[in-house]
Chains A and B, each alone.
Chain A
Amino acid sequence: MMGRDRPDLLLILAAAGILVMGLMTVFSASRVVVEEGLFSKQVLWTAIGSLFFVAGTWISFRRLEEIAPFFFAIACLLLLATLFFGSGPADRWLVLGIFRLQASELAKASLVLMTAWWLSSLRVKPRRMGELLVFLTVLPAVVLTAIQPDLGTSVAMFLVVLSMFIWAGYGPGWIFLIVSPVAAAISSTSFALWLGFTAVLVFVLFRRKATVMGWILIIGGNSLVAALTPMAWNVLEPYQQSRLLTFLNPAADPHGAGWNIIQSEVAVGSGGIFGQGYLQGAQKELSFLPARHTDFVFSVWAEETGLLGSLLLLSAFMILIWRITRAARKSVNPFNSLVASGVAAYLAIHVFVNVGMTLGIMPVTGIPLPLMSYGGTQMMVVMFLLGLAVNAGMYWREV
């Protein structure tokens, strides 16, 4: 029988808790930011975001499934437009009248829907090389984001897509084959590493009972990648190599991002167990902390509320992600379930990468903390996705 449940209250509660903590932090941080009216704007974004949340809970999934490819195409076009007409920090904003749109945020949401659309349709009607088609479809969004350049966001996109593949039931061996060219390129740095990689590859192919053609293609292709990577690297001039390395690892920049991380670590560490007290953060006050209201918002919260506040915030995120994953499991319609799983992966990756960055254990990327960081596009996108997750959890069907 079919049924429609009540919305998941715990999920909504966790999200609301995070929103409150986020507004508190933005208020605290905005007191030392030159730009006026940050806090009131963030309140406005939260209010508009709530409307998006409600829209997400109301929307018909069947309708959503129909428009997913169009939505994705529009997001890609916006990304393309950003490349040509972008402005703002690192040219990542698209100015439309009074709105400044961050197209890559929109693209992340559309990517979740597009991948869900593909994977659910493949489940109904499997095709030869269908999985490859999925990757080819999402590739434009990932590449257009990478060349903005916003490598961090594009890697996050790729990880979300991979997570959804796992959710769709593709096993670890399958995932390993997907990422094997990247692994091959990395393994080419040492012979032992390459040997280990190839051994795992052979094992996976053996377990999956690959065809002769499959063996040749996968082993041959990966060997080719591993052999060509050092060669391609050596063809580059030294200055090109160093540019590429800086691109891949901006933290290596001696006076740019490295400085930010130290200040962030000091801010977090000085919070201690109980924190410096709300609105009392010294690092924040002294303007040492960069991007206080955006990428490093967690540092402000951690400095002022200490370990207890930080764990409270992380727990709220964990409950949120747990409930979304639960909704994904409960919802039996493949499309609904995959969308919810994508939302869970999206949140988990963002939280881990952003908080990990402020704690100095992840590389510096421009990935914001969902529901906390200042910014309109991100707020609306995340709230809409949360609405979808609640929506998905309300549908269930007993077979």
Chain B
Amino acid sequence: MRRSGARDWPYALFLATVAVSFILLSVRLVELQVVKGDYYRNLSSSNHIRVVSRPAARGQIMDRNGVILADNEPAFMVSIIPSEFDTTTIDLVASELEMEAQQIEEILDQAASVPHRPVVLKEGMSVDQVSGIAENQYRTPGVIFDIAPLRRYNRAEDFSHLLGYVGQSDDEEAYHGEVVGRAGLELSLNETLRGTPGLRREVVDAHGRVVETFESTESEAPVPGRDLRLTLDASLQAIALEELTATGMPASVVILDYTTGEILCAASAPAFDPNQFARGITSAEWNVLLNDSLNPLFCRAWAASYPPASTFKVVTAGWLLSEGLVSPTYMPDPCYGSYTLGGTVFRCWSTHGRLNIVQALERSCDVFFYRCCQFGTLDGLVAFAARFGLGRPLVSELVGEKSGSIPGSEDLDALYGVRGWGLGNLLNYSIGQGELLATPLQMAAVAGVIASRGSMPVPGIVMGEESEPPLLSGGNLPDATWDAVSLGMRNVVAAPRGTLYSVFAGSPLEVWGKTGTAECPGENHALLIGFVREPRPLAFCVVVEHGGSGSTTAGPVARGILETWLCGEAGAV
């Protein structure tokens, strides 16, 4: 009998558990049916409950100093509950909202499958705008208005490309009035920023009037999204956009701190006003943006890639020196203004004579690099360039960041066929032309790697994301390499024959730089990369589309931005 005796306690436990469960269910039944029975009976016969979601405020976005770039302002949102709406009042509603009756019908048609869920008619309305509909609410059952936070961009144009904008979600699963990021950081960091919506359950009578709020055990308050602090500096960004806009040409600038990798400025001109999107862009406004030949929606700081042109020579020079292909004092045959390889003439923009590598950088001689690059291989140069962050996107949060292009021999085989290309491609690579493409962000990183002597962390735009970001470039180069490249870049500005000498003449700043002129149909693109060490460690890249040569247009922009920000209006350090 041991076994059946041993089974006595499980038997008791089973029955006790079942009894307790059933008592629990019975207690709840009594609560619902007896204690609150009248309440529910009343609800089900004359009133009903509707669930209205309360949008959560999106997280604020701040710059590195806490300047608020994007926040929310209280605004009204008018919605309609199709199942409660009396369609004979559609004209009244339309006139109060300054909409077409047809627009409202379209919205109702789209929402036909879920008639008890409210759909947004119009958002971003002020108290005055909503007062008409509020006064007429008793005549228009099913029309409700809520307070919904409206996204507000305080530095609208300055950060338009970076922050992007928000809009009503058109996802089937989205809740009523849900706002989602549509572009920029609003899109890529939507999950961080958006927060969790709350719920309000309302008991409404037959006229659609709210009788009371339905109590429930669930938590209902919306949880605001997380705030975001960027590495950018709002004042620098404003100065940069002003300088870029003054050129009258599409242009961009990226400035980063090469000791931390933090991006301080990433501006692209022309810009647009993202507030238009937040309050619901009209088709007229949208068409203006779309038809603008300068394409203000396009971000030139990271979504555009250009031939790096002569700015790439700093990479070629680093490669030649670190691989031991040339020494800092080596002088190849002189530059006579062009170089002929297998019947093809590769031209230089001037006749430079006999130069060493520092002078070749200073005066941007092409022939020097044509001659010397042949000591190495194309794949050697490509592998070296990858250590500067070229050929891959650098910042995951940036929407639409281009990876640029720096095809190796396998890629060229695929492109042109085996033997469809040759040494000429390497010659073009050595001066940043040919198949090479890089974004302004990548070229600023190149300058940063040189300024930091290879110890720059991977660029970032969100503050405090990682305590110790990994380094961008892998491996150390000999000191002599960094010294020679830096000296070359310094001489570009400081030596009388340097390409930036006249641009920075009289500047209180000690600047290292390298110009570039990217060949393209029409006027060439002007490029400039460089860095300063004092008073702040900054690396930068300026691109002015169709700006001619790097020294004439990009140079003054860079000088203007740096001096205004670092030296103040007075021009003193």
Contacts and interface: CB of A to CB of B under 8 A. Distances in A.
Interface of A: 163, 166-169, 237-239, 242, 251, 254-255, 258-259, 262-263, 265-273, 282-283, 288, 302, 306-307, 310-311, 314, 317-318, 321-322, 325, 328-329, 332, 334, 337, 341, 344-345, 348, 351-352, 355-356, 359-361, 399
B45 A332 contact: no
Given A267-B44, A268-B33, A270-B43, A399 B24 contact: no
B201 A307 contact: no
Contacts of A259: 51
A341 to B, nearest CB: 7
Interface stretch (B5-13, B128-136, B362-370, B520-528): B5-13
12 contacts: A238-B192, A258-B51, A262-B49, A262-B201, A265-B32, A269-B40, A272-B37, A311-B26, A325-B18, A329-B7, A341-B14, A348-B21
A332 B48 contact: no
Nearest to B54: A254
A329 B4 contact: yes
Contacts of A306: 33
A167 B196 CA distance: 44
Interface of B: 1, 3-4, 6-7, 10-11, 13-15, 17-19, 21-22, 24-26, 28-30, 32-34, 36-41, 43-45, 48-49, 51, 53, 117, 175-176, 191-192, 196-197, 199, 201, 214, 216-218
Chain B contact residues: helix, strand, loop or mixed? helix
Contact of A302 (B18, B33, B39, B175): B33
The 10 A-B pairs of least Cβ separation, nearest first, read A269-B40, A270-B44, A239-B191, A272-B37, A269-B32, A238-B191, A270-B41, A270-B40, A307-B33, A352-B21
Given A167-B14, A269-B43, A271-B33, 14 more contacts: A166-B10, A168-B10, A255-B176, A265-B32, A265-B40, A268-B33, A270-B44, A307-B34, A311-B29, A325-B15, A337-B7, A351-B21, A359-B32, A361-B24
B58 to A, nearest CB: 13
Task: Specify which of B19, B21, B49, B216 lies most central, judged by the most chain A CB atoms within 10 Å of its CB.
Answer: B21
A251 B216 CA distance: 13
A390 B453 CA distance: 84
Given A163-B14, A255-B176, A266-B49, A355 B25 contact: yes
Nearest to B198: A254
Contacts of B1: 399
A262 B49 CA distance: 8
Contacts of A265: 32, 40
Contacts of B29: 268, 302, 307, 310-311, 314, 359
Given A266-B49, A302-B33, A329-B4, A314 B26 contact: yes
A326 B6 CA distance: 15
B17 A348 contact: yes
Contact of B25 (A237, A255, A270, A356): A356
Nearest to A306: B33
B351 to A, nearest CB: 57
Contact of B175 (A168, A254, A271, A328): A254
A311 B27 CA distance: 10
A383 B89 CA distance: 56
A262 B216 CA distance: 9
A334 B6 CA distance: 12
A329 B175 contact: no
A313 to B, nearest CB: 10
Contacts of B32: 265, 268-269, 359
A298 to B, nearest CB: 10
A273 B11 CA distance: 33
Given A169-B6, A273-B34, A321 B18 contact: yes
A274 to B, nearest CB: 10
A344 B18 CA distance: 10
A306 B30 CA distance: 10
A167 to B, nearest CB: 5
A344 B7 CA distance: 15
A359 B36 CA distance: 13
Nearest to B214: A262
Given A254-B51, A269-B33, A166 B199 contact: no
Contacts of A356: 24-25, 28
Task: Specify which of A255, A321, A334, A360 lies most central, judged by the most chain B CB atoms within 10 Å of its CB.
Answer: A255
A2 B61 CA distance: 80
